[in-house]
Amino acid sequence: MKRITGLLVAMLLLAGAGIVLADNPLSINGAGASFPYPMYSKWFDEYHKKNGNIQINYQSIGSGGGIKQVTEGTVDFGASDGPMNDDQLKAFQDKHGFGILHFPTVLGADVPAYNIPGVSAELTFTSDAIAGIFLGKITKWNDPAIAGANAGVKLPANDIVVVHRSDGSGTSYIWTDYLSKVSDDWKNKVGKGTSVNWPVGLGGKGNEGVTGLIKQTPNSFGYVELIYAIQNSMPYGKVKNSSGTTVKADLASVTAAAAGAAKDMPADFRVSITNAPGKNAYPISSFTWLLIPEKFSDASKRDAIKGFVSWMLTDGQNDTEALSYAKLPKEVVAMEKQALAKVQ
Amino acid sequence: MASTTTTVHGAGPFAGSRSFISRLREGDEIVRLITFLFAASVVLVTILLVYELWIGSALPRHKFGFHFFVTSVWDPIFDRFGALPFIYGTLVTAGVALFLAVPLGIGAAIFLAELAPATVSDTLEFFIDLLAAVPSVIYGLLGVFIVIPMMREYIQPALKKSLGFLPLFQGPAYGVGFLTAGIVLAIMVIPYIISVSREVLLSVPRDQREAALGLGSTRWESTWKVVVPFARTGIMGSIFLALARALGETMAVTMVVGNTPTISASLFAPGYSIAAVIANEFTEATGDLYLQSLIELGLVLFLLTFILNGLARLLIVATSQRGSEIQT
Amino acid sequence: MTARLRWRKFVSGFMLTMTGICAIVAVAVLFFILGYLVYHGGTSISWNFFTKLPAPVGESGGGMANAIVGSAKLLLLAALIGVPIGFLGAIYLAEFSGSTVAFVVRYAADLLNGVPSIVIGIFAYSLAVLPFKHFSTLAGGLALGVMMIPITLRSTEEFLRAVPRALREGAMALGASKSKTIATVIVPAAYRGILTAILLAFARVAGETAPLLFTAFGSRFWSPGWNQPTASLPVMIFTYAIAPYEDWHRQAWAAGLVLLGLILVINILARAILSRGIAVPRS
């Protein structure tokens, strides 16, 4: 009995010592989109290396999760590729008594990735084809809607396995936002959002899960952020944009999509650049945002976050292209630097 | 009671009795009180849990009422939530699991209880208990990397070819789906069926067996027609226990079930279970109705497992009252 | 021998062989799991795995050092909650209580035991995350601790009850008070069993993932103190297994091997302690 109590006391003392003696870095917690996760994890790692006493812990749980958790207040900041809608902004305001700000970080793209046994060519997809597949109307790979845009490629008569997100996702928001713009059928039946009632398909968790599913499932077709397709050597297709050009997602085409928005950026930075006009614009591009509350009760956290955002807008932007995310347009960076002053 | 006499420590039980006893009682009272508080806290925690589940699901209970259980739409955008696909998925995966695990489990239990010599029986039981200790996420890991490819490449096509006329085995072979989840669950619940059934079979009085053998039955006949029926209720109890475990399994199912809230006749279709949808969507449920609908799902699961566990215990105890004392 | 008898004998032999096959299949699954984990995990375990923090997404060379420490902290907390409540509650049930209170407490414990772990997660979220606006190691430890309570309670009670009456009566005859009897005679006598119960409860919660998903959350860094989210082995296995990166898959296997190895070792240890028999109380 004595031995057990002695053991317990020793453990408690050790634990206490652990708390007291541990070098206590400032720990900031964020959560949200998986779309920019490869970029953020690199940034936060770099930033920690430069500022050893600041630790920014980011969990990729999907944009829906980011919005939810930052509204609940369980994380210090959120991240989402689907901007918060007015209801969500109001909910935040009502709960906290102050608002929440959007800060764009990078530009990225949703690409249509596929895994068709025997087909290694780069396919082209029209907006009708994509909408048809995701609505469940086009079910086979050799359907004329797909084959028509891919003359010369032998597509098998296999059933298409659609893969979408099972969690609340900004990547889904971007995809469904695009589909809502190019297909009235989609707009009326399904709509746009982070979590929709998908007509067909398997659900994967996070961009990571969808990539994993596509890689492992023959005849699959899904949408992931560009870097996930590249990092995992997955084939992804070109998309025909509103000007009729067939565009592949890359730095140039994504930047082109943002060109118009850069000039007309609203003050709150909430803007959609899917189906953007422009000859070389990639139609399924998007900004992605950090969701930062207007007020912080903890001054050191506020300063750390503001410090990070400033770094991100200057040095951080140099890291984006290596991971195939496009830099923010100069005009947007300037606007953000000013907006940062609003965080108190 | 006034204590007037001197306090005498360690003397015999009757010396200086009054004060000694009252002192004794005081010390005991404190220990009794402390241990009572800890025991009571168990009850408190349980009540608190049920309470949190109940008030946490108030919104959808008032808004949807009974319709929650018969709606199959799960639409966070239009705020329409129905539990049917998840209840369906939970029951189907558990059903497949039991379909596979019960014959195997009872068979193994019969072997261990009736045939195997004591050392072999104990050793094998030891290993089977270790199987029960393997965490869910490790089954999930194996499910993702071994079972899914195996299902997709070999098992599902084979089933399609041979039994494809049944609606159960139609549809594309994704690898994930109800059948895969059922198979992984089967492996997880077999140890429960085996260990409880084995104990119950061992507790059947010897004279039952001996009477049957004395009347000229073969080993198998005495086992199947006399011993097993005697232990019938206990074996049922083990099945209920296994079912309760299968219903509540989260990680292994999430990783192999396909995460799609559909109701389909085909076992090859991707599906969802209550535990899996809570695990996937809880941290991102924006809006109170969404979150509370998930909590209501948790309440449903809780009630299901509560009823099953209660029944299981009753059945196992009932068997023990017919035979000898067994521990659950 | 009639034909019918021959048939019956054949059926008997056949069915009993089938049951033997069932038993072998069941055990074979365990060895298959172990074998696979050792093969895939063993080749992925490296010094990096134990000492490095996770690397940025897509880069290789990271490890799970923070998850290992995180799991250790979570289990420590769980034990601090689960063991005292289970142990002291069991003493009450075995030594002091009347039958109605005992029934209620046991019923509550059995109910708690049967609650699916994801529901315990919901409970811990509403109790320890929402009010404090914080995912934390504390919340995760609470969830795991609540899961430990019924296991320790019921098993400890069984072992306390199993102590022979003769020992109790002997102590009372010598004039020891109830509390002294418990402390110096009964608990030491049941010591082995109680230790086993604690170890088994420990092994059970060590592998739990679901309740940690929305309590301890996760972290790519060291988690300072007890108030911050923390990585843990089971959650890392889950996250890495469903992701597409090969490097992460390898780490998931390694983590699976470490976790399963730990749990199996604890189980075997617990059974070994128990099989040595109930210890005679030392004077």
C222 inside 8 A of chain A by CB:
yes
Position C278 scores a pLDDT of 45
Q: Are A209 and C243 an interchain contact pair (Cβ–Cβ within 8 Å)?
A: yes
Residue indicated by tokens 């923390």 = C230
Q: What mean pLDDT is predicted for residues A129-148?
A: 93
**Number of other CB atoms surrounding residue B288 within 10 Å:** 12
Position B73 scores a pLDDT of 84
Q: What mean pLDDT is predicted for residues A31-38?
A: 90
Q: What average pLDDT does the structure give for chain A? A: 89
Position C150 scores a pLDDT of 92
C115 membership: H or E segment, kind and range: none
Show which of residues 181-220 on chain B sit within 8 Å of chain C, judged by CB atoms: 187, 190-191, 194, 218-220
The share of chain A scoring above pLDDT 90, in percent, equals 57
Whole-angstrom Cα distance, residue C194 to residue C197? Answer: 5
Residue type, position B34, single letter: I
B262 inside 8 A of chain C by CB:
no
B51 inside 8 A of chain C by CB:
no
**pLDDT digit string, tens, across residues A216-261:** 888 999 999 998 999 889 999 999 999 999 999 999 999 999 888 8
ipTM of the complex: 0.85
Whole-angstrom Cα distance, residue A196 to residue B75? Answer: 6
Position B200 scores a pLDDT of 87
Q: Quick check: B2 pLDDT over 60?
A: no
Q: Which residues contact A237 (CB under 8 A, 6 or more apart)?
A: A111, A112, A113, A114, A122, A123, A124, A125
Position C210 scores a pLDDT of 92
> What is the secondary structure of B55-84 as a DSSP string?
HHTHHHHHHHGGGGGT---EETTTTEE--H
Residue indicated by tokens 């708390």 = A19
Q: Quick check: B324 pLDDT over 60?
A: no
Least confident interval from A147-156, A313-322, B4-13, B34-43: B4-13
Position B219 scores a pLDDT of 85
The share of chain B scoring above pLDDT 90, in percent, equals 29
Sign of CA pseudo-dihedral A26, A32, A37, A39: negative
SS3 B105: helix
Position B109 scores a pLDDT of 92
The set of chains that have 3 or more CB pairs under 8 A with A is B, C
Buried b (16+ CB within 10 A) or exposed e, C50-71: eeebbbbbbeeebbbbbbbbbb
Task: State phi, psi for C123 to the nearest 5 degrees.
Answer: -60, -50
The share of chain C scoring above pLDDT 90, in percent, equals 30
Chain C residues in contact with A231 by the CB 8 A cut-off are 58, 244-245
Among the partner residues A59, A232, A323, nearest to C218 by beta-carbon distance: A59
Residue A168, min C-alpha distance to chain B (Å): 6
Residue C42, min C-alpha distance to chain A (Å): 23
Say if residues A54 and A47 touch (Cβ distance below 8 Å): yes
Instruction: Tell me which chain C residue has its CA closest to the CA of residue B54.
Output: C123
Position B260 scores a pLDDT of 86
Q: What mean pLDDT is predicted for residues A75-104?
A: 92
Using a CB–CB cut-off of 8 Å, the residues of A that contact B are 31, 61-62, 64-69, 71, 88, 91, 159, 161, 166-168, 191, 193-198, 201-205, 213, 216-217, 219
- Name the DSSP class of A151: T
Q: Are C8 and B116 an interchain contact pair (Cβ–Cβ within 8 Å)?
A: no
Residue C145, min C-alpha distance to chain A (Å): 16
Q: Are B126 and C271 an interchain contact pair (Cβ–Cβ within 8 Å)?
A: yes
Q: Are B172 and A159 an interchain contact pair (Cβ–Cβ within 8 Å)?
A: yes
Residue B67, min C-alpha distance to chain C (Å): 22
Least confident interval from A198-207, B37-46, C117-126, C251-260: A198-207
Chain C residues in contact with A323 by the CB 8 A cut-off are 58
Residue B20, min C-alpha distance to chain C (Å): 10
Answer with the residue of higher pLDDT: A113 or C133.
Answer: A113
Chain A residues in contact with B73 by the CB 8 A cut-off are 197
Q: Report residue B27's pLDDT band, with 50, 70 and 90 as the boundaries.
A: confident
Among the partner residues A24, A72, A205, nearest to C242 by beta-carbon distance: A205
Residue A69, min C-alpha distance to chain B (Å): 7
Chain C residues in contact with B142 by the CB 8 A cut-off are 33, 36-37
Q: What mean pLDDT is predicted for residues C76-96?
A: 91
CA dihedral of A75, A80, A85, A87, whole degrees rounded to 10:
-20
Q: Are A206 and C242 an interchain contact pair (Cβ–Cβ within 8 Å)?
A: yes
Whole-angstrom Cα distance, residue A235 to residue A229? Answer: 7
Q: Report residue A311's pLDDT band, with 50, 70 and 90 as the boundaries.
A: very high
Q: Quick check: B25 pLDDT over 80?
A: no
Chain B residues in contact with C115 by the CB 8 A cut-off are 49, 248, 302, 305-306
Position A263 scores a pLDDT of 83
Chain B residues in contact with C90 by the CB 8 A cut-off are 39
Say if residues C71 and C227 touch (Cβ distance below 8 Å): no
Which pTM does this prediction carry? Answer: 0.85
**pLDDT digit string, tens, across residues C151-188:** 999 889 888 888 888 888 888 888 888 888 888 888 88
A343: left (phi over 0), alpha (psi -120 to 50) or beta: beta
Q: Quick check: C75 pLDDT over 90?
A: yes
**pLDDT digit string, tens, across residues B242-277:** 888 889 889 999 989 988 888 888 898 889 999 999
Position B22 scores a pLDDT of 67
Residue indicated by tokens 């799960």 = B74
**pLDDT digit string, tens, across residues A261-303:** 888 888 889 999 999 888 899 999 999 999 999 999 889 999 9
Instruction: Tell me which chain C residue has its CA closest to the CA of residue A24.
Output: C224
B79 inside 8 A of chain C by CB:
no
Size of interface A-B (CB pairs under 8 A): 76
Q: Report residue A168's pLDDT band, with 50, 70 and 90 as the boundaries.
A: confident
Q: Report residue B281's pLDDT band, with 50, 70 and 90 as the boundaries.
A: confident
Residue B286, min C-alpha distance to chain A (Å): 5
> What is the secondary structure of A4-36 as a DSSP string?
HHHHHHHHHHHHHHHHHHS---EEEEEEE-STT
Position A122 scores a pLDDT of 92
The share of chain B scoring above pLDDT 70, in percent, equals 90
Whole-angstrom Cα distance, residue A79 to residue C114? Answer: 37
Position C52 scores a pLDDT of 86
Smallest Cα–Cα separation from A288: which of A56, A58, A87? A58
Position B285 scores a pLDDT of 81
The set of chains that have 3 or more CB pairs under 8 A with B is A, C
Whole-angstrom Cα distance, residue B159 to residue A107? Answer: 46
Instruction: Tell me which chain B residue has its CA closest to the CA of residue C89.
Output: B39
Position C246 scores a pLDDT of 83
Q: Quick check: B233 pLDDT over 90?
A: no
Chain A residues in contact with B284 by the CB 8 A cut-off are 61-62, 64-68, 167-168, 194-195
Residue indicated by tokens 């076992």 = B267
Find the angle CA(B97)-CA(B100)-CA(B106) to the nearest 5 degrees: 110
Chain A residues in contact with B285 by the CB 8 A cut-off are 64, 68, 168
Whole-angstrom Cα distance, residue C34 to residue B144? Answer: 16
Using a CB–CB cut-off of 8 Å, the residues of B that contact A are 73-78, 148-149, 152, 172, 174-176, 254, 258-260, 270, 280-281, 283-287, 291
Position A113 scores a pLDDT of 95
Q: Which residues contact C203 (CB under 8 A, 6 or more apart)?
A: B133, C262, C263, C266, C267, C270
Q: Quick check: B17 pLDDT over 50?
A: no
Position B26 scores a pLDDT of 64
Whole-angstrom Cα distance, residue B156 to residue B180? Answer: 9
Q: Report residue A26's pLDDT band, with 50, 70 and 90 as the boundaries.
A: confident
Q: Report residue A15's pLDDT band, with 50, 70 and 90 as the boundaries.
A: low
Chain A residues in contact with B149 by the CB 8 A cut-off are 216
- Name the DSSP class of B134: S
Whole-angstrom Cα distance, residue B292 to residue B59? Answer: 7
Sign of CA pseudo-dihedral A33, A39, A41, A43: negative
Chain A residues in contact with B174 by the CB 8 A cut-off are 161, 202, 217
Sign of CA pseudo-dihedral B189, B191, B192, B193: positive
